[in-house]
Each structure stands twice: as structure tokens, then as C-alpha cells.
Amino acid sequence: MFLYFVLGFAVLACLGEVYLLVSYVRCQGKYPPFINSFGKVREDILQKAEEILQREKEAVKVVDLGCGSGSLLIPLAKKFPHHQFYGYEWDWLPFFLISRRVKNLPNVFVYRKNFMKEDLRDYKLLLCNVGNGIEQELGQKLKQEISAEAVVLSEFFPLSFLREKKVYLSKLYGLNVKIFLYMKN
Ligand SMILES: C[S@@+](CC[C@H](N)C(=O)[O-])C[C@H]1O[C@@H](n2cnc3c(N)ncnc32)[C@H](O)[C@@H]1O
């Protein structure tokens, strides 16, 4: 029994590795892979997002740039049914998962698209967790497009061009990590 468990685990781990490798090759190493937010840093970024959204009496639009399978978008959408939540995800597997998970959430809209090609001006809160060197490009795009009231929360990675308002310290399995809060000016 134990041997089957170990073998099953090894096969799954290999499939996971192959999946990440294929994704990496498909995007030519340009986009970060599908790894959901998890652990304390996920709790912390959700808490910061909730603090921002609680202050909004009118309905606002929130976007997760690279929404994965929805580990941030879905709890927020459930907690704030009067706000609208948008997710962009280029990769088929997380997109397949999130599409199924949000079927009964009328305030969530997900698109299998490259968020770098989308217009981001309407969002009040923007979430992201993107490394791989697109921080510069994304920072520049956000600087050009977002409104003066919009808030950007970036998990782990600092973004260029925007004004850094706060840096929160968090933890991920004992490692020190950061959440950056930006505005346009
Ligand atoms: C680190 S994961 C974060 C997932 C999710 N935000 C969460 O917290 O659970 C980054 C995700 O962004 C997606 N991604 C990266 N660059 C993208 C792009 N330009 N357009 C759409 N999705 C992108 C990746 O496929 C990956 O699933």
C-alpha cells in the first residue's frame, strides 16, 4: 500500500514538472508559472485587499493579473458580492480550473488572455504576482493606464514606475517575503 502511495506521488510530481516545463517553453520563459498563492502570504494579501474593498461603498472592479485557479479572486468575490472581480490567465490548466470554480459566482469574470494586451484603466484594485522580468513592463503599463485612485497589490515582486506607498512584511514557510502597495502618483 505504502509503495503504491510513493509511486503515485512520484508520478504526480513528474507530471507536475513536465507541465511546468511545457508551460515555460510555450511562453518562451516570459511569464511566471501557475503556482497559486498559499500560506501566510496569501492570508496577508487577502487581508490587505479586504481592508481596501471594505472602504468602497459603491461597486468597484477588481482584477487579478494572472489569476491562477482563483485562490485570491474567489474568496474576495464571495466576501464582497457587490463588487465585480475579473481574472486574466493565459495558461489552459489554471484557466480550466478557475472557470469551473466560478460558475456559480455571478460577480466573477475570467478570460483566457494575456493581461499585458488588455486595457486596465477601469480597475480600482489590481492584484499581481509576476516575476520573470515583466515587472518593468507591467509597471510601465500600469503607470500609463490606471487611475489616480487605483491601488496595486503586488505579491513578492516590486514593480517599476509606480509610486510605492507601503511595503508589508510577510512569511512563506519561514522565508521573509514582501507585499508591495502601489498607486500611480
Ligand atoms: C504566481 S501565479 C499567481 C496565481 C494567482 N494570482 C494566485 O495568487 O493564486 C501567476 C499566474 O499568472 C499567470 N500569468 C503570468 N503572466 C500572464 C499574462 N501575461 N497573462 C495572463 N496570465 C499570466 C501564470 O500563468 C500564473 O498562473
The CATH number that applies at residue 123 is 3.40.50.150
Instruction: Tell me: do 7 and 23 sit in the same domain.
Output: yes
Structurally, how many domains does the chain consist of? 2
Instruction: Tell me: do 99 and 82 sit in the same domain.
Output: yes
Instruction: Tell me: do 90 and 148 sit in the same domain.
Output: yes
pLDDT in tens, 13-66: 777 777 767 666 766 666 666 778 889 999 999 999 999 999 999 999 999 999
Domain that holds residue 114: 32-183
Tell me which residue has its CA closest to atom 6 in ligand 1: 67
- pLDDT for 126 beyond 90: yes
Is any ligand 1 atom within 6 A of the Cβ of residue 89? yes
At residue 2 the predicted structure's pLDDT band, cuts being 50, 70 and 90, is confident
Instruction: Tell me: do 24 and 63 sit in the same domain.
Output: no
Is any ligand 1 atom within 6 A of the Cβ of residue 130? yes
Ligand 1 mean position, distance from CA 122 (Å)? 20
Beta pairing class for 84-88 and 151-155:
unpaired
Amino acid 32: pLDDT: 63
Is any ligand 1 atom within 6 A of the Cβ of residue 135? no
Instruction: Tell me: do 95 and 143 sit in the same domain.
Output: yes
Is any ligand 1 atom within 6 A of the Cβ of residue 120? no
Is any ligand 1 atom within 6 A of the Cβ of residue 66? yes
Name the residue type at position 33: P
Instruction: Tell me: do 113 and 167 sit in the same domain.
Output: yes
Amino acid 17: pLDDT: 74
Beta pairing class for 84-88 and 108-111:
parallel
Instruction: Tell me: do 23 and 81 sit in the same domain.
Output: no
pLDDT in tens, 58-116: 999 999 999 999 999 999 999 999 999 999 999 999 999 999 999 999 999 999 999 99
Ligand 1 mean position, distance from CA 67 (Å)? 5
85: exposed, middle or buried (Cβ count in 10 Å: 0-12, 13-18, 19+): buried
Instruction: Tell me: do 22 and 64 sit in the same domain.
Output: no
Instruction: Tell me: do 67 and 53 sit in the same domain.
Output: yes
Is any ligand 1 atom within 6 A of the Cβ of residue 123? no
pLDDT in tens, 140-181: 999 999 999 999 999 999 999 999 999 999 998 889 999 999
Instruction: Tell me: do 64 and 133 sit in the same domain.
Output: yes
Atom of ligand 1 nearest to the CA of 155: 8
Note the pTM of the prediction, 2 decimals: 0.89
Give residue for cell 497589490: 153
Instruction: Tell me: do 1 and 81 sit in the same domain.
Output: no
**Cβ contacts of 97 within 8 Å, gap of 6 or more:** 69, 70
Is any ligand 1 atom within 6 A of the Cβ of residue 87? no
Amino acid 30: pLDDT: 66
